[in-house]
Structure 1
Amino acid sequence: MAQQTSPIISSDLPQRDLVNAGTVTVITAPVGGPMSVMGSDMANVLDDGENLRVLPILGKGSVQNLIDIMLLKNVDMGFVVSDALEFVKTEYNVPDINNRVRYIAQLFHNDVHIVVRQEIRTLQDLNGKRVFAERNIGLPAARIIFRRLGISAEIDSHTDADGGLQKLLSGEGDAWVASVGKNAPVIKNIKNDGGKFHLLSIPYDRRLQDVYLPESFSSDEYPNLVPPGSKVDALAAPTVLMVYNWPAQSERYKRVARFVDALFDNIEKLQEPPRHPKWRDTVISAAVPGLQRFQPAQDWLNARTGAAPAATPVRAEEFRRFLAQRNGSGNVSHAQAAKLYSDFLRWRDGQR
């Protein structure tokens, strides 16, 4: 009879408690976009043996990520586009959502793209029309923009990320809404023979200014959907690294605090090749309107910049008041809004 051997136990294995104490999870997005790559970048750059391990998780996108941050036990933080907060607050009746989460840093902007059939010339033309908007990519923007501007469209969210676009291109609807980074390949690669489709202009209406900032798309960025030499007005919302509002001094709080120190200390390494180019858009000191920063992140900034905690939150209401003071009205053109926003940032920095 063959002699049974005991399983080999390596004395080199790290201790279970140490491994768990040093590991944080970050939920990203499906493979193909910047979020999943940036999550991998964090794991490669920030991992420090038993002291810190970053474990990226492929998520479904911004809305589900926000829900997962609030509800899943093993999720510490995740990538969330800021307009998802209002969407979850209204669609899921979570009035205290701003107290349940905190943000660590603003990473980059997502831009609202509305691809439409050629005969659709304004947002009002979408009244009564069929619009595709996938739940985690375009639905928050579609719901917020249409509701606030009084547009009654038939929003179909029962498709995957690219399914709605394919239905639009095949003639089954009138528009497709997506909140993605500028120069998105899925949009740049639309074959638009005969000019059947174009990117629809979105006005920077005062009813949208607490959520979005002014943006535009040029013919250089989307030659297939923007006429040569022209621009299309658009909107943008920050993509942020968001964390659950862990009780101060809890183990989860301390773990994420260690991660924050490593992230901020190494931000320049993340902004170098071969890391995702979206890291170069990250300004860790930039504040996110309407949200509170995770306290260890604010403490890191205060220690390096000397900024007073009270000066950190930059609310969208501040920009709206600035618009009213400079312009006398909340309704401005995109060109005016872009200039005024630059003026606002310089004014705010001067105030600080």
Structure 2
Amino acid sequence: MKRSVLAAAIGLALSTGYAQAQAFERNIMTGGPQGTYIQIGRDIARLGAECGLSLNVVESAGSLENFVGVRNRRNTQFGIVQSDVLEYLKTFEANDPEVQKAVKGVRIMFPLYNEEIHVLARRDVGSMKDLAGRKVAVGRKDSGTFLTATLILDILQVKAGERLDINPDEALPKLLSGEIDAFFYVAGAPAALFSENAIDGGKFHLVPITEAPLLATYTPSRIEAGTYSFQGEPVDLVAVKAVMMTYDYDVGRNAYHRESCRTVSDFSSLILTGLDRLRATGHPKWKTVDLTALPPGWQVGVCVKAGMALDYKPACNAPAAGAAGADDSNEEYLNLLKQRLKQ
């Protein structure tokens, strides 16, 4: 893995101070306007609204920017991050003081769902090796898509003719117009970018990603036929885990830390007790969420643990519509989480 991939993001985390704000806010950093992260963020914000707690859903470039935001951006209590970003940081943390400083205080809130690694390409790109010598968009440098695309191409030793550092929203029209040959997009299927845009299945397809060297880092997955209108057959590929991150606030430090910790506890409780509603009414990826699938080597924050208590009561400003106490399934999740935290 190349350390330079995260250099810009880590440098920003170290050099940017907390921006001053006049009033306390709650924010979750997500992704682009047609991505899965932003839809997941909106689902969580709706849970908060039912409780009278406002949560701003912030668009971003993706995982790297979100990780830095949780570490360094005032009034940003939450961010959604890819698991391979976390694995990358853990790889270098032990021997790199800059990385140690960048990750200090950042904690796991909940693991979420698997994100499929989409590579949309011209039909003459039949496999990952066919990207050699082609024009390939790999995402903005502060995005998780950029890190994943870079790692995959390096692991497979595929040398693209040109790598364009543009986001998927910009890459799609360039692919359709013939300016590029393919682009990477890490997003939970179904991704709105592919569902809401006209793509000719006779000219473009999702490239299978089944190469054995990738299985040490990524999880085998499949996008079933018909998930997208242009996709007539199932596609085997790989996926990463999306993880909700937060910061380990110190309630004894100041009022801002106390309010932020309370926010983290409140939303931990709301997600835990509202998971069935999220599965029923939210993005389809909620149906696959396993709150016990904690990535190894990362700690859960103390404010998260406080909100996981079965007797915890969120600081609602209004009665929660349709809210209910913890049922048997939520208690089961809590017990499993406690077991994992003791390991």
TM-score normalised by the chain length of structure 1: 0.68
| CA shift in 2, pair 1:184/1:41, >3 Å | closer
Q: Any residues of structure 2 matched to 1:90-109 within 5 Å, and which?
A: 95-96=99-100, 99-109=104-114
Find the counterpart in structure 1 of residue 340 from structure 2: 311
CA shift digits 1:57-106 (9 cap, x unpaired)? 33332221122112212211112222333567899x85335554212112
> Which residue, out of 35, 38, 41, partners 1:36?
38
CA shift digits 1:218-251 (9 cap, x unpaired)? 33324524xx5x4322111111211124347552
> Which residue, out of 239, 261, 265, partners 2:269?
261
Cα offset for 1:160?
Answer: 3.8
Cα offset for 1:298?
Answer: 4.6
Segment of structure 1 superposing worse, 263-272 or 301-310: 301-310
Determine whether 1:221 maps to 2:222.
no
Q: Counterpart amino acid of 1:179?
A: V
Identity %: 25
Contact 1:215 1:235 survives alignment (8 Å): yes
Contact 1:62 1:137 survives alignment (8 Å): yes
Larger Rg: 1
Find the counterpart in structure 2 of residue 74 from structure 1: 75
TM-score normalised by the chain length of structure 2: 0.70
Contact 1:110 1:181 survives alignment (8 Å): yes
CA shift digits 1:201-233 (9 cap, x unpaired)? 1125244423x21112233324524xx5x4322
> Which residue, out of 169, 181, 184, partners 1:177?
184
Determine whether 1:26 maps to 2:55.
no
CA shift digits 1:14-66 (9 cap, x unpaired)? xxxxx84xx5322223333343343333333224778x543333333222112
| CA shift in 2, pair 1:204/1:249, >3 Å | farther
Cα offset for 1:289?
Answer: 4.2
In 1, Cα distance between equivalents of 2:63 and 2:337: 31
Consecutive unaligned residues in structure 2, runs of 5 or more: 1-22, 311-330
SS in 1 for 2:280: coil
Determine whether 1:234 maps to 2:234.
no
In 1, Cα distance between equivalents of 2:219 and 2:99: 23
Contact 1:133 1:156 survives alignment (8 Å): yes
CA shift digits 1:87-144 (9 cap, x unpaired)? 67899x8533555421211222211011222222222222232211222363222111
Residue-pair matches, total: 287
SS in 2 for 1:45: helix
Consecutive unaligned residues in structure 1, runs of 5 or more: 1-18, 315-352
In 1, Cα distance between equivalents of 2:252 and 2:215: 37
SS in 1 for 2:99: coil
Q: Counterpart amino acid of 2:85?
A: A
Contact 1:145 1:208 survives alignment (8 Å): no
Find the counterpart in structure 2 of residue 111 from structure 1: 116
